[in-house]
Structure 1
Amino acid sequence: MTDPSTPILKPRASFMLRHPAHWIAQGFGSGLSPIVPGTCGTLFGWLSFVVLSARWPQFFTPLNWGIIVVLGYVIGVWACSVTGKNLGVADHGSMVWDEIIAMWLVLIFVMPTPLSTQLYAFLLFRFFDMVKPPPIGFFDRKFKGGFGVMFDDIVAAFFTLLVFALWRTF
């Protein structure tokens, strides 16, 4: 456990492997990327969704993905809370489980779709997650801890899906 007064700025694999919550919150290592960890976590989410759905389609159905996302969200609140405390930073950039869960949520609703449409979903989600236009930024500031880490990304996923719904309508 780290003294909260001295935050860990660049966590390493050894930190991630110290506790199951770290391993989850840091996206199985995808959040340890030295550059754009949130984007790496989102890419991991995209790739894992596509690979798992293609490899085991009888299990990774939209309904089961929905259950996985709900359970992943609940687990993520816990994992991000523990990891944030141990890092000394409530919403550390290496914590990418929120991006993974949110990307899975987006893909549940846009798949099956061509690679180009998946790329648009990825880019739209990253835009909403990074820029945090209202009300995403409000929720990011209002809610703290593990819940706050997870919730603003779910709102970003919702806005991504809203854009897709509007795009398909017109």
Structure 2
Amino acid sequence: MANSAPASVWRNPIHFLAFGLGSGAVPKAPGTFGTLAAVPFFLLLQNLSDVQYAIMLVVTSLVGIYLCGKTSKDLGVHDHSGIVWDEFVGYWITMWMAPAGWFYIVLGFVLFRLFDILKPWPISWIDKNVHGGFGIMLDDILAGLMSFVVLQALVRFVF
């Protein structure tokens, strides 16, 4: 994967959004920085009702399929490492119905990054075999769902 941000990130609004408002343009660990950039938006979204939040997740996922697919095609690089809109959505999925507080924000961050980096099956299979904007989004959606399940289990049975 390419690790340098193209100049179009700063000129093309679609690329800018796909690169997580520029957070994916960092040269090292863009996925981690993209997830970190998703946190302030979560703080703004966390007071939505469960239904409103679910609708937001569907909308941002569908928008992400377009943003990530178009940017990937324009750059000629499938899933450029700087494309981090998928990390935004994956983290937001992780945090759906999470209790309030920084402990859970950080725990959700760590869980999502672990699933996104380690890519257990079926995430790894999807990452390798499903292409385009849908594939870029789907592996992070699944990482978010797995992180969501673990976070909810920890909330209910441990904390």
| TM surpasses 0.5 | yes
| Letter of the structure 1 residue corresponding to residue 105 of structure 2 | Q
**The one of 85, 92, 95 aligned to 2:80:** 92
| Letter of the structure 2 residue corresponding to residue 85 of structure 1 | K
**The one of 111, 124, 127 aligned to 1:137:** 124
Aligned partner of residue 110 in structure 1, secondary structure? coil
Q: Report matched runs for 1:72-151 at 5 Å.
A: 72-112=60-100, 114-151=101-138
Contact 1:8 1:88 in 2 (8 A): no
Unaligned runs of 5+ in 2: none
Quote the residue 1:4 is aligned against: none
Question: Cα RMSD over matched residues?
Answer: 1.9
Contact 1:11 1:94 in 2 (8 A): yes
Moved over 3 A (4+): none
| Letter of the structure 1 residue corresponding to residue 114 of structure 2 | F
TM-superposed deviation, 1:9: 5.0
Q: Report matched runs for 1:24-103 at 5 Å.
A: 24-50=17-43, 52-53=44-45, 57=47, 60-103=48-91
| Letter of the structure 2 residue corresponding to residue 153 of structure 1 | D
Distance (whole Å) between structure 2 residues aligned to residue 46 and residue 118 of structure 1: 8
Quote the residue 1:169 is aligned against: 157
| Letter of the structure 2 residue corresponding to residue 158 of structure 1 | L
TM-superposed deviation, 1:118: 1.7
Fraction of identical pairs, as percent: 35
Unaligned runs of 5+ in 1: 1-6
Max radius of gyration: which structure?
Answer: 1
- Normalised TM-score (structure 2): 0.89
Query: What number of residue pairs does the alignment pair up?
Result: 157
Aligned partner of residue 108 in structure 1, secondary structure? coil
- Normalised TM-score (structure 1): 0.83
